[in-house]
Amino acid sequence: MRESFFETLIGAVVVGLAGFFLWFALARGGDSSGLGANQYEVTARFNSVSGISRGSDVRIAGVKAGVVKSIEGDPQTFEAVLKLALDSKWELPDDTDARISTDGLLGGAYIALEPGAGFDNIAQDGTGEIQFTRGSVDLLTLFASFASGGGGSSNSGASSSSAGEDLGPVDPPEVPSDGAVE
151 within domain boundaries: no
Same domain for 7 and 79, yes or no, is: no
The rounded distance, in Å, linking the Cα atoms of 68 and 83 is 6
The rounded distance, in Å, linking the Cα atoms of 85 and 31 is 12
The rounded distance, in Å, linking the Cα atoms of 39 and 84 is 10
pLDDT range class, residue 60, cuts 50, 70, 90: very high
Same domain for 26 and 54, yes or no, is: no
The rounded distance, in Å, linking the Cα atoms of 67 and 64 is 8
pLDDT range class, residue 161, cuts 50, 70, 90: very low
Same domain for 84 and 54, yes or no, is: yes
pLDDT range class, residue 172, cuts 50, 70, 90: low
Same domain for 43 and 126, yes or no, is: yes
Same domain for 65 and 94, yes or no, is: yes
Tell me which amino acid residue 157 is: G
Spell out the residues 6+ positions from residue 53 whose beta carbon is closer than 8 angstroms to its own: 68, 71
What mean pLDDT is predicted for residues 167-173? 62
Same domain for 1 and 60, yes or no, is: no
Cβ atoms < 10 Å from Cβ of 131? 14
Judging by DSSP bridges, how do beta strands 39-46 and 79-87 pair with one another? Answer: antiparallel
Same domain for 130 and 44, yes or no, is: yes
Judge contact between 49 and 136, C-beta under 8 A.
yes
* Number of domains present in the structure of the chain: 2
Boundaries of domain holding 24: 1-31
What mean pLDDT is predicted for residues 50-70? 92
pLDDT in the model for residue 75? 94
Same domain for 49 and 134, yes or no, is: yes
For residue range 71-90, what is the model confidence (pLDDT) as tens digits?
A: 999 999 999 999 999 998 98
